[in-house]
Chains A and B, each alone.
Chain A
Amino acid sequence: MLVKVFTLLLSFSYVISDGQVRQMVTSYNPGCQTQKCPECSPGVVYVQAKGDNDILHYVVSALGGPPTALVIKTNRPKERYQLNINCKMMASKNDTERKAAITLPSGLKKIYSYGVVFSRLFQYNDTADKADITAYNINSTKWRVYDFTEFEWQDITTWSSNNLIVMKVKTSGEVMDAAFYNESLVLQFHMFDHSDRSKELPHLLYDADSTQFDFTLQDIDTGNYSSARWGLETVLLGSDKKTTGMHIETKKSIDDEYTPGVFEMSNWLTRPGNEANGGYLQWKPVCYLKPGRARSVATKVDYTNLASTSDVNVDTFLQSSIMYSYFPDIMSVSRSATNFTFGLESDGGFTKTNFTSWTAQLGFGAPPEDKVSSLVVGVISAGLGLPVILIMFGGLFVIIKKKTSKEGYTDLDTDRSNIQ
């Protein structure tokens, strides 16, 4: 009963939505005459999110291998606010064509652009069960490296809808003994036109300037690895000079009401110090080992220190991705890489459930922050206020009573018959 009332109260506090609303237009395989387009396989999704003063252009695709989301923020002209995107040119073998596949028409001015590229998956056999990816030498036999440029993806139009873009793997290529097939890797982007909190754990707060993605690994044959764990190599890019240093900021919070048991939030900022005009990747250090997300199946998400992309040799993957079609001069833009790792000491690893799902958020501007809900403030002030009032009035009452009775102990003495 109490729980019900409590959760009911809580559900009220969820209904907070403000901020701007965007108008969304989704198109598939721009530049191709039909929605299904074999020449652009595995397909490109282009979403325009029109606000009052600006437009966010999302281009999401696994063309070339590495799944990528590119976001371009532009002004909002009276007309012609579509990007010039040609997916056939993006898929072209010709470098000159590829370089010119995404351009801005005159009148559309770029305010900022940023994006995320997933370059590789690392599987390691965590025999020490410390869930620390850095503890193993990359040249040892404890590793399998899955390079996304080798992957084949299912057609993006098959599963996607207006505000959900879904990328599913087809195979991981013969080289890597086809450990991945069909749904064993799913990456989906939720597009938002307003502010709210996600219905799914970890209940991240989103706004009209952000998109959330779920990264899911499942049913993967880990062969002879007794305790397989994963690392996801991720690159964040921003349209600044490459000297602009990116930074991951981790904030602790006393408030875990939205994500039970999680007291941290991390923001990977493309423009630290100028967040309001930069991009971010935001996540809570939690992922889930079963499809029914709950605290009982939660485990940790960690990350390795940010590295320069050239140091960890991922620049070639960036060039294979669709980023190259927008940033032809990709070597000169700001970018850095990290490995997100999943799992915690003695949680059984990926092998135990053969499932891991993680949600994070890519967005523009100051990253959303959790605020202590009014429920907490209300209960605390009522709970502490009531006794204080009671003590004050009660104390007053007692003092007055003592003052008015002439002899201090009269009451007690007449009460003597009850002493035990």
Chain B
Amino acid sequence: MTDSQSEKKPLLGAVNEGDDGEEEVLEGCGGTMACNPHRPLHRYLVLAIMCFLSFGSYFCYDNPAALQDTMIKALDISESTFMGFYSWYSWPNVILCFFGGFLIDRVFGVRMGAIIFSLFVTAGQVLFAAGALVNHVWLMNVGRFVFGIGGESLCVAQNTYAVKWFQGKELNMVFGLQLSFSRVGSTVNMNIMQPIYQWITGFGFKNDYTDLGVVLMIGAIMCVFSLFCALALSFFDKRADRILKRAAVTSDEQIRITDVKDFPLTFWLLSIICVGYYVAVFPFIGLGLVFFEMKWGFEPSLANNVNSLVYIISAVASPVFGFLIDRTGRNIFWVILGTVCTIGCHALLAFTFLNPYVGMSCMGLAYSILASALWPIASQIVRNSQLGTAYGIMQAIQNLGLAVIAIAAGAIVDSSGYLILEVFFLACLCVALIAAVMLYLVDASRGGKLNRSAKERKRLAALKEEEEEEKKLLD
């Protein structure tokens, strides 16, 4: 066996249930379906916890948006100071989540990493709330900064967990489900923060900012909840490692930051798709409201409904598409399909007066397809021991793209209007499409590993298993 194979062995151990003779005898609950790591049911229960791992961070991320008017009034701040709460979150993460991913691989491991980043998230939100309680905006900025360090890296940890538990199984669906949970988190936040604020004002605190601080503290409860999820996951993961004999990444394998340069071309193509696609969706949604008002003459509330369609649809559709992708395989084709559909949607919005409900609904579906198909591909390109770093890089590049393009998009609208903005987004999508086609070609020339159908994957997994058995017999 080569070195690279032995590295992968522990994880493959999880795939091939019971390939070892000496099994630990599970007693009590441990022997039932729900608690036995050999059983799918146990995996699904862990999945539930996994989904809630970053629920708190998604919930609190959009706290400012949900309380925008209230916040501006209570703290007596300007619009740009308010936007600062988002900049303090996003800009540091252009770099930091790369290191977050690296630290998961090299130092903490995914279990410790998830706990540490959850702690950051919780501490950040508490600081943010404390800043509001005492009416110090700088403290709130510090809070958002700390929160950001945790939040983005926590996503990386969540992705790594997902691959660890579901590789070769329902990985696409799991990614879809995680995406849908992130949407649920921010939607719940958008809908309940204002009522909670109203409820708190009923207690008659002296200052508006005190009310605000209390509301944000309540938001912090969600972070604590996610922290508990991180602890629980850590427990179950350790237990599964022991029972399934998945050894932790061996210490003799050195993971260096310079390994990044040895990441294959396909990974970088994947990163290009990721950034080219995401920048054409999220900054667009940020500017969509006024676009729908101006081009179609929609009332603000109606425009807002149209604008949030992508989020709502992706929350429902992404697990479904994830399931479909699991069944069919051929991830690259799905990525190409998602990109082409999004190009079509943007073209509809840019060049026709067709009701934007159509374009935005399709975009929601296309986004679900892409998000469920894209992220799992990375796990097939990069060794599992470097997966944290890989997801960290993808996330960092995506954050950089989003931050830069959000500013550029605003400038383009101001100087050249929405048509040119749409053309710009179409150009970004075309770059993503070219990268996707390149990815397919490069992969096809190397044997088509990434774009295998589910059937072939199964066949090869079985082949591999046989081979291992043979080897064991020979030994």
Contacts and interface: CB of A to CB of B under 8 A. Distances in A.
A254 interface: yes
A280 to B, nearest CB: 24
Contact of B167 (A3, A259, A260, A420): A420
Given A386-B430, A401-B445, A416-B460, A257 B290 contact: no
A377 to B, nearest CB: 9
Interface stretch (B95-103, B249-257, B418-426): B418-426
A418 interface: yes
Interface in A1-34: 2-3, 6-7, 10
B5 interface: yes
Contacts of A418: 449
B437 interface: yes
B427 interface: yes
Nearest to A391: B437
Given A261-B294, A412-B447, A379 B423 contact: yes
B412 interface: yes
Interface in A342-397: 372, 375-376, 379-380, 383-384, 386-387, 390-391, 394, 397
B337 interface: no
A260 B430 contact: no
A114 B92 CA distance: 62
B444 interface: yes
Contact of B352 (A6, A254, A296): A254
Interface string B259-303: 000000000000000000000000000000011001100000000
A388 to B, nearest CB: 9
Contacts of B351: 254
B177 to A, nearest CB: 22
B80 interface: no
B353 interface: yes
Interface string B412-438: 111111111001101101100110011
B426 A383 contact: yes
A273 to B, nearest CB: 25
Contacts, number: 127
A7 B420 CA distance: 10
A36 interface: no
B430 A387 contact: yes
B2 interface: yes
Given A2-B408, A394-B441, A260 B379 contact: no
A380 B418 CA distance: 15
Contacts of A3: 408, 411-412, 415
B448 interface: yes
Contacts of A296: 414
B300 to A, nearest CB: 8
B345 interface: no
A78 to B, nearest CB: 48
A387 B340 CA distance: 10
B414 to A, nearest CB: 5
B146 to A, nearest CB: 31
B167 to A, nearest CB: 7
A260 B417 contact: yes
A411 interface: yes
B438 A390 contact: yes
Contacts of A411: 447-448
A217 B456 CA distance: 73
B424 A261 contact: no
B423 A254 contact: no
Given A263-B295, A394-B441, A416-B463, A383 B430 contact: yes
Contact of A261 (B418, B430, B446, B461): B418
A259 B168 CA distance: 53
A419 B460 contact: yes
B370 to A, nearest CB: 15
Contacts of B55: none
B447 A260 contact: no
Contact of A417 (B5, B291, B411, B445): B5
Contacts of A394: 437, 440-441
**In terms of DSSP, what is the predominant structure of the interface of chain A?**
helix
Contacts of B445: 401
A295 B441 contact: no
B430 A255 contact: no
A409 B460 CA distance: 11
A92 B351 CA distance: 57
Interface string A223-265: 0000000000000000000000000000010111111111100
Contacts of B420: 6, 10, 257, 375-376
B408 A256 contact: no
Given A380-B426, A397-B441, A412-B456, A254 B419 contact: yes
A330 interface: no
Contacts of B433: 387
Contacts of B460: 412, 416, 419
Contacts of B244: none
Contacts of A420: 8, 11-12, 167-168, 379-380, 383-384
A294 to B, nearest CB: 6
Contact of B441 (A254, A258, A263, A398): A398
A418 B8 CA distance: 10
Interface in A104-141: none
Contacts of A372: 419
B452 interface: yes
A315 B437 CA distance: 69
A415 interface: yes
A391 B412 CA distance: 30
A416 B418 CA distance: 49
B46 interface: no
Contacts of A419: 449, 460-461, 464
Nearest to A387: B433
A379 B426 contact: yes
A6 B424 contact: yes
Given A254-B353, A420-B167, A420-B384, A6 B419 contact: no
Interface string B384-399: 1000000000000000
A43 B444 CA distance: 80
Given A383-B430, A412-B447, A415-B449, 9 more contacts: A255-B417, A260-B417, A295-B413, A372-B419, A375-B423, A376-B419, A384-B430, A398-B441, A420-B380
20 contacts: A10-B416, A254-B295, A254-B352, A260-B418, A295-B414, A296-B414, A372-B419, A375-B423, A383-B427, A384-B430, A390-B434, A394-B437, A397-B441, A398-B441, A401-B445, A412-B449, A412-B452, A412-B456, A416-B460, A416-B463
Interface of B: 2, 5, 8, 11-12, 167-168, 290-291, 294-295, 343, 350-353, 379-380, 383-384, 408, 411-420, 423-424, 426-427, 429-430, 433-434, 437-438, 440-441, 444-449, 452, 456, 460-461, 463-464, 467
